[in-house]
Structure 1
């Protein structure tokens, strides 16, 4: 598997990407990270970028994420909102977990909002849905559909064994 080559290839697996806990608010359009590639003050944000940036990008496909290297004496994060406002988050001398927790509190969606969005995404009230947990447990109950073959046998012209086996 060629995608499993390189430093810490687990970062490129779907299971790891889906495990990300930082989902940015809908109002954020640009998420900019400014840091240095050397120095102790930027070590936490470098680790954050290495471990959490792929998850952040996976969970927020509509947000432009920019990393700017070696342009600032201290690391920081800019969040640009759709109404023109922006927020500066100082990440100087923090480790990757402290940065993640702080960003979840400040610019991330709360767990309650994420649960409500997940429930709304399922849409169990759609009349076309059938199966376990829906209004109709089988497609044969829906008017205009064929009855279950276990109850009423299919006509011969609809069975594959009759029209495919013309010996």
Structure 2
């Protein structure tokens, strides 16, 4: 169980709820805000609620936060694209929902539902060479040629050898009579 203020903000359920997809050409997002200014409240809420899922959903996009810089009085978001294009989004006195909608319109990816391809993982067409399960046909990596032998099989073999060696030595000492080991 998570404790503290805002415990659900760093859970997997919250982070996987990405508000929108960024365009693949987006490389850097620069977010400038002020903690004490009233005109930055919407952007601060955006940073708290929307930036962590965006970072989780887009690990290749660098999101830089600059807070409390005296020479930059306005809260804004600047988006840098791969081709060198830069987009400036003014966030002064705007709500979090407005900022999210504006950023989605400027840097969001156009997504069509027909682009989704579903993969049935349990179908016979899907064969993963690294999948070792009972119903997949291979139970262990030692069944693949060229791999090192399984340590479990070696352990069983070693225990059998030790048992037979002790049994042989016990028979030798007692001239064919087996004593307790």
Q: What's the TM-score, normalizing by structure 2? A: 0.63
Find the counterpart in structure 2 of residue 131 from structure 1.
Answer: 122
Query: 5 Å matches for 1:59-70?
Result: 59-70=57-68
Q: For this pair of structures, how many residues does the alignment match?
A: 134
Find the counterpart in structure 2 of residue 31 from structure 1.
Answer: 29
1:58-107 Cα shifts (integer Å, max 9, x gaps)? 11100011001122211111111111121111111111111111111111
User: 4+ residue runs of structure 1 moved beyond 6 angstroms?
Assistant: none
Distance 1:9 1:88, change over 3 A: same
Query: 5 Å matches for 1:15-164?
Result: 15-71=13-69, 72-112=72-112, 116=115, 118-119=116-117, 122=118, 124=119, 131=122
Q: Give the C-alpha shift of residue 5 in structure 1.
A: 2.8
Is the partner of 1:30 in helix, strand or coil?
strand
Which runs of 5 or more structure 2 residues have no equivalent in the other structure?
A: 127-135, 138-155, 161-181
Is the partner of 1:31 in helix, strand or coil?
strand
Distance 1:39 1:27, change over 3 A: same
Q: Give the C-alpha shift of residue 44 in structure 1.
A: 0.4
Which runs of 5 or more structure 1 residues have no equivalent in the other structure?
A: 137-144, 147-162
Question: Hey, what's the Cα distance between the residues in 2 that align with 1:21 and 1:81?
Answer: 20
Is the partner of 2:109 in helix, strand or coil?
coil
Question: Hey, what's the Cα distance between the residues in 1 that align with 2:100 and 2:121?
Answer: 40
1:88-145 Cα shifts (integer Å, max 9, x gaps)? 11111111111111111111113317x62x42xx4x4xxxx7635x668xxxxxxxx9
Is the partner of 1:111 in helix, strand or coil?
coil
CA RMSD in angstroms comes to 3.1
Distance 1:94 1:130, change over 3 A: closer
Is the partner of 2:49 in helix, strand or coil?
helix
